[in-house]
């Protein structure tokens, strides 16, 4: 039984606590004291007021007076954040000789409430001075002076003759205030009609000056109403959000006039206590039956009033309409109003029809324009080739103009990834949230359009892991768009000379990147279905992904070489510093032009310097000349990037430098083929990996060397070179 008793007590206290936290005081709370109503969040016992703030605790004394703070008698509590209390009058009285005979001044502590701006500071007396002082982080005082030699015959306003009144400003954090009064000079002549000086704070409009009575004896009225501002907590509505104590749905939170904390109020059309829950708080006002002048309906005929939640409306019977200016019902006029309504509807219908026709014509014109651009940009031929199975990459998708606008946010400037000779590249986001790179040719440049179409045809022949993948194109725009996979780590140029140069590439990175580029070019020259010459190989056209894997890009200048031809005669095109001098002089394009450009890229990887730099001395402005002279004078290590060279890789670097010089020989016939270059570089890399492995696993290496010796004694030849060659070949033919 004891256990059950403890459990029931615990449940009782839990329910009481939950009820209070949810904005509903205990049902047995005192609701009035004298003639003053006490409502939540105020209360006279711990279970009845808002427990988080002691300012809401009031006391009902034995005289049935409701007391707040320093013996302020409460006369009214407003839900909107005002507390009306009675405030004492400070005074100083004098005898006939002008000496002070009686006085009273008061210090009040405000704690978590503030003096409202609705109060005025009043002084009553002749030749009187009174001060109001507040104390806190920022002390504040104000005063008022009144003068007179005899009682005024005019009553009402305090204009400085016998009575003075002034506004009050009290800093928010000042918690105490004091009122004092004194006579400016000893004047016995005023004793008969003004023996005392009075000073007090009072709500504006509650004190009306009576010259004869108030100057003679204001002490008969010892108190005046004073307005205090109160609020809940120290946070604003935005800060408390849904944790405020305002009741749900029918009440709302607003920031307190005090400057901190918040108060609650019922929504328009509701009345009650906004701090309580719906059942006990704000309730709908029936404006149709309400006797209140504030909430009464304004329908001219009460019988037409209809109540609704949060308001009312006036309902006219059939055949009548509501005149909103007079809120009365009038018979409907079907004459000119009907004609006007019919004419308006007819006119609007015509406008709607014209608008629909214009929209259809605009849509048709746009469709025709898109079709024109599609044909103009070679769309028919491209569709024929893609659908005919002539390409190795049949997954190229044709995108719409609208899709491209959406993907680039209307070709917004913030989406531009780069601008160059081949056009502008934008970052695009497709409907499936995949990120792509969208390349757009410059407007009005027909040669750029030809290069874009050429790039589609070239890339349709390629599917290689080290070539930027072409996802599709859009031919419905004035200039065609190409859509590529998005490579997110910039270009090789950026890593060597630009924004990523602080992230230095190690020798292993550079050698691997060189092998990947060489293998890709060898594939284009030798293993693609139709041989392809890139014609613009440079570090700015080599992209790097997050793993620093090389991706060859920008095939706008590339050319397909027919099987029966070894070279083509074309207009010279390329980038200074990388351009093959033989091709520049003859206009004859062959695969050795790419070899020359690759040699320059290889020199950039070795030296970390730009291909063409006018800041270097005259003899070394061109990196090829700089390298050639260094090799010839046996000072190759002077031009190597000091970030990558160590004692362990000097021979490899020297070998790669030799390959770079061979690739950049003046005569094309003296340069090696890309397949040979790729094999040599791959051989260096494999040999490096093999030595690295043997250093880590000496016993296994010794065993493998023994196997090779036995194999050689058995009549078989060593496989070192063939292994390197096979690995290189596999890498070159990595296209799918």
Residues marked active site are found at 536
How many Cα neighbours within 13 Å face the side chain of 467?
Answer: 29
Q: Kindly write down the DSSP assignment for every residue of 582-634, as one continuous string.
A: HHHHH-EE-HHHHHHHHHHHHHHHHH---SB-TTS-GGGSBHHHHHHHHHHTT
| 594 Cβ contact partners less than 8 Å away, ≥ 6 residues apart | 521, 524, 525, 533, 534, 535, 537, 674
Both structure tokens of 658: 């030799």
> Whose CA is closest to 656, among 560, 517, 528, 545?
517
CB atoms within 10 A of CB 147: 14
> Distance between CA atoms of 484 and 435, rounded to whole angstroms?
9
620/44 Cα distance (integer angstroms): 95
* Contact indicator for 148, 209 with CB cutoff of 8 Å: no
Strands (E), 310-445: 311-314, 320-323, 328-331, 397-398, 416-420, 423-429, 435-440
Euclidean distance between CA atoms 487 and 489, whole angstroms = 6
Q: Which element (helix H / strand E) includes 224?
A: strand 223-229
Give me 605's structure tokens: 């990887």
In the numeric block, which tokens belong to residue 255?
């920031």
Q: Which of 609, 606, 598 is nearest to 644 (CA)?
A: 606
CB 146 within 8 A of CB 193: no
Angle at 548 between CA 544 and CA 552, to 5 degrees: 35
Residue 432, helix vs strand vs coil? coil
Nearest-CA neighbor of 436 among 473, 387, 466? 473
What is the Cα–Cα distance from 362 to 369, expressed in whole angstroms? 10
DSSP structure string for 167-198: E----TT--EEEEEEEESS--GGGTTT--EEE
- State the residue for tokens 């023996």: 195
CA-nearest of 543, 404, 409 to 475 is 404
Local structure of residue 358 (DSSP, 8 states): H
As a whole number of angstroms, the distance between CA 260 and CA 558 comes to: 71
Q: Which residues pair with 588 in a beta bridge?
A: 569
Whole-angstrom Cα distance, residue 253 to residue 205? 29
Residues in the chain: 736
Rounded Cα distance between 480 and 457, Å, is: 13
Beta-carbon count within 10 A of 337 CB: 11
Record the tokens describing residue 184, joined without a space.
């400016």
d(C-alpha 716, C-alpha 492), whole Å: 44
């Amino acid at each position: 039984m004891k256990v059950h008793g403890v459990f029931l007590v615990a449940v009782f206290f839990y329910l009481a606590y939950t009820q209070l936290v949810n904005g509903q005081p205990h049902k047995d709370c005192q609701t009035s004291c004298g003639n003053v109503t006490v409502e939540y969040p105020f209360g006279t016992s711990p279970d009845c007021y808002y427990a988080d703030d002691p300012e809401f605790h009031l006391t009902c004394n034995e005289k049935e007076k409701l007391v707040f703070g320093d013996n302020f008698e409460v006369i009214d509590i407003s839900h909107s954040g005002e507390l009306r209390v009675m405030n004492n009058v400070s005074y100083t009285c004098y005898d006939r000789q002008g000496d002070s005979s009686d006085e009273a001044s008061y210090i009040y502590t405000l704690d978590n409430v503030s003096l409202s701006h609705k109060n005025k500071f009043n002084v009553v007396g002749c030749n009187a001075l009174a001060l109001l002082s507040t104390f806190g982080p920022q002390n504040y005082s104000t005063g008022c002076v009144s003068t007179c030699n005899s009682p005024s015959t005019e009553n009402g306003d305090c204009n400085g003759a016998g009575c003075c009144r002034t506004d009050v400003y009290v800093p928010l954090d000042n918690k105490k205030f004091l009122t004092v009064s004194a006579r400016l000079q000893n004047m016995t002549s005023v004793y008969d009609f003004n023996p005392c000086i009075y000073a007090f704070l009072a709500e504006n409009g509650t004190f009306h000056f009576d010259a004869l009575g108030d100057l003679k004896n204001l002490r008969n009225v010892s108190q005046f109403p004073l307005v205090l501002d109160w609020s809940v907590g120290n946070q604003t509505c935005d800060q408390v959000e849904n944790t405020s104590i305002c009741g749900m749905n029918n009440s709302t939170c607003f920031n307190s006039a005090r400057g901190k904390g918040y108060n609650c109020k019922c929504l328009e059309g509701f009345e009650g206590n906004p701090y309580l829950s719906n059942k006990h708080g704000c309730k709908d006002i029936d404006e149709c039956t309400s006797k209140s002048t504030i909430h009464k309906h304004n329908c001219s005929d009460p019988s037409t009033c209809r109540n609704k939640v949060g308001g009312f409306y006036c309902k006219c019977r059939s055949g009548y309409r509501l005149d909103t200016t007079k809120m009365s019902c009038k018979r409907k006029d079907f004459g000119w109003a009907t004609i006007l309504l019919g004419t308006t509807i007819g006119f609007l219908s015509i406008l709607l029809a014209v608008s629909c026709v214009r929209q259809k014509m605009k849509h048709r014109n746009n469709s025709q324009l898109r079709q024109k651009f599609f044909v103009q940009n070679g769309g028919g031929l491209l569709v024929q080739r893609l659908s005919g199975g002539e390409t190795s990459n049949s997954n190229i998708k044709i995108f719409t103009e609208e899709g491209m606008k959406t993907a680039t946010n209307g070709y917004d400037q913030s989406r531009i990834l780069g601008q160059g000779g081949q056009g502008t590249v934008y970052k695009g986001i497709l409907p499936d949230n995949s990120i792509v790179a969208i390349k757009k040719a410059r407007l009005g440049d027909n040669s750029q359009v030809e290069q874009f179409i050429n790039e589609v045809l070239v890339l349709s022949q390629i599917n290689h892991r080290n070539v930027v993948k072409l996802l599709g194109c859009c031919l419905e725009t004035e200039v065609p768009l190409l859509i590529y996979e998005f490579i997110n780590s910039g270009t090789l140029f950026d890593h060597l000379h630009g924004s990523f140069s602080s992230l230095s590439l190690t020798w292993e990175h550079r050698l691997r990147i060189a092998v990947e580029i060489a293998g890709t070019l060898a594939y284009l020259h030798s293993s693609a279905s139709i041989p392809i010459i890139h014609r613009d190989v440079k570090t700015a056209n080599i992209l790097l992904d997050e793993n620093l894997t090389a991706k060859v890009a920008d095939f706008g200048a590339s050319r397909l070489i027919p099987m029966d031809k070894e070279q083509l005669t074309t207009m010279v095109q390329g980038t200074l510093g990388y351009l093959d001098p033989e091709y520049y002089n003859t206009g004859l394009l062959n695969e050795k032009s790419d070899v020359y450009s690759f040699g320059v890229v290889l020199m950039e990887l070795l030296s970390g310097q730009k291909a063409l730099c006018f800041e270097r001395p005259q003899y070394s402005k061109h990196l090829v000349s700089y390298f050639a002279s260094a090799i010839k004078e046996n000072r190759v290590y002077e031009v190597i990037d000091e970030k990558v060279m160590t004692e362990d890789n000097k021979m490899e670097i020297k070998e790669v430098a030799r390959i770079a010089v061979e690739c950049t020989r003046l005569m094309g016939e003296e340069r090696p083929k890309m397949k040979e270059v790729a094999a040599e570089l791959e051989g260096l890399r494999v040999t490096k990996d093999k030595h690295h492995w043997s250093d880590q696993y000496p016993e296994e290496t010794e065993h493998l060397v023994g196997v090779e010796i036995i194999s050689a004694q058995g009549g078989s030849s060593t496989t070192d070179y063939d292994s390197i060659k096979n690995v290189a070949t596999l890498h070159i033919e990595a296209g799918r």
